[in-house]
Chain A
Amino acid sequence: MTAGHAPSARLYWIIWGWLAGLMLLGVVLSELHVLPIAPKTIVLIVVGLSTIKAALVALYYMHLKTDRRLLAFVVAAPLLLVALALCVLFSSRLVKL
């Protein structure tokens, strides 16, 4: 790490708990159908949970939260392109040529 205060080992275990818990929540929602939620809504929720897990790993395990801001821009560049690609992909569902 090049900047900021290093997180403690305890925080890393707490993040592990969140990662495992969110992963299990996604599995339960998808497989056990415990709540009356439409399948498309479940897909959105599970993708949202995956995004939260990825953000936790990037912010705490990859130290983006405490590292230099320049690295956040390096990460943001491909994420913007990913967002653009997804917009193009899903817009094809809305626009019929």
Chain B
Amino acid sequence: MSTAHAATLASHAQAQTATGIPNGKLGMWVFLASEVMFFTGLIGAYIVLRMGLGAGWPGHEGHLNVVVGTLNTLVLICSSTTIVLALAAAEQQAVPAVRRWLLATILLGSAFLVIKGFEYGAKFSHHILPSTNVFWSCYFALTGFHALHVLGGIIFNGWVLASTATASRWTASARRLEFAGLYWHFVDIVWIFLFPMLYLFN
């Protein structure tokens, strides 16, 4: 990256606002705060239903593979690391490294969705649907909304990756890498709680 591009990146980082935080970044954090409440509603419904049924809670009855769930969790943790390494590379103006780490993040996110797709396929082939019982209603609602967020994150990351194609586009949109990273870490945090709730606490 040229000196001019690096200077522009630095000026973005030092953007003067009333809060001292770039408006886009503050906006992303406020958006994530609203997302916390969205998933709290879903998880709260799961807790209410589970406590209400007590011993009658059906659980996954062996139809969820803990090894697959563990693998998917590991994939998402790895992707959180790769995107923060992309940000670290961006701060050092190492655009090729940014591309590599972003591509790795997108591939890991896609791997998560592929594994989740195989899991869904296995459930459907066993005639397990959201209407099967209350556990599977919760499972498909929670993992389905989470998967949609993962898909959104992959698209966001792909958009940032595309902006590294030319120096002028990257200079104008380098700041978005930090926003994409914040969103991606949030998606990871949600899964950190969903995994034990659905797979381990049977």
Contact = CB atoms under 8 A, between A and B. Distances in A.
B29 A74 contact: yes
B66 A27 contact: yes
Contact of B80 (A3, A27, A57): A57
Interface stretch (B20-28, B110-118, B134-142, B160-168): B20-28
B112 to A, nearest CB: 14
B192 interface: yes
A82 B21 contact: no
Contacts of B34: 78
A67 to B, nearest CB: 8
Contact of B25 (A2, A7, A46, A89): A2
A2 B49 CA distance: 42
A24 B70 contact: yes
Q: Bin chain B's interface residue count.
A: 35 or more
Contacts of B91: 1, 6
A61 B88 contact: no
A1 B33 contact: no
B192 A2 contact: no
Given A30-B196, A47-B196, A92 B51 contact: yes
B2 to A, nearest CB: 22
Interface string A65-97: 001101100110111011001100110110000
B167 to A, nearest CB: 22
A20 B47 CA distance: 26
B81 A16 contact: yes
Given A20-B77, A92-B51, A61 B185 contact: yes
Q: Bin chain A's interface residue count.
A: 35 or more
Contacts of B13: 1-2
Nearest to A92: B51
B29 A85 contact: no
Nearest to B101: A9
Contact of B40 (A27, A30, A82): A82
Nearest to A30: B200
A13 B81 contact: yes
Interface in B169-200: 178, 181-182, 185-186, 188-189, 192-193, 195-196, 200
Contact of B192 (A16, A50, A92): A50
Contacts of B181: 61-62
B66 A89 contact: no
Given A2-B22, A74-B30, A89-B51, A57 B188 contact: yes
B25 to A, nearest CB: 7
14 contacts: A1-B13, A6-B91, A15-B81, A19-B80, A20-B77, A23-B73, A30-B196, A43-B201, A54-B189, A57-B188, A61-B84, A70-B26, A71-B26, A77-B33
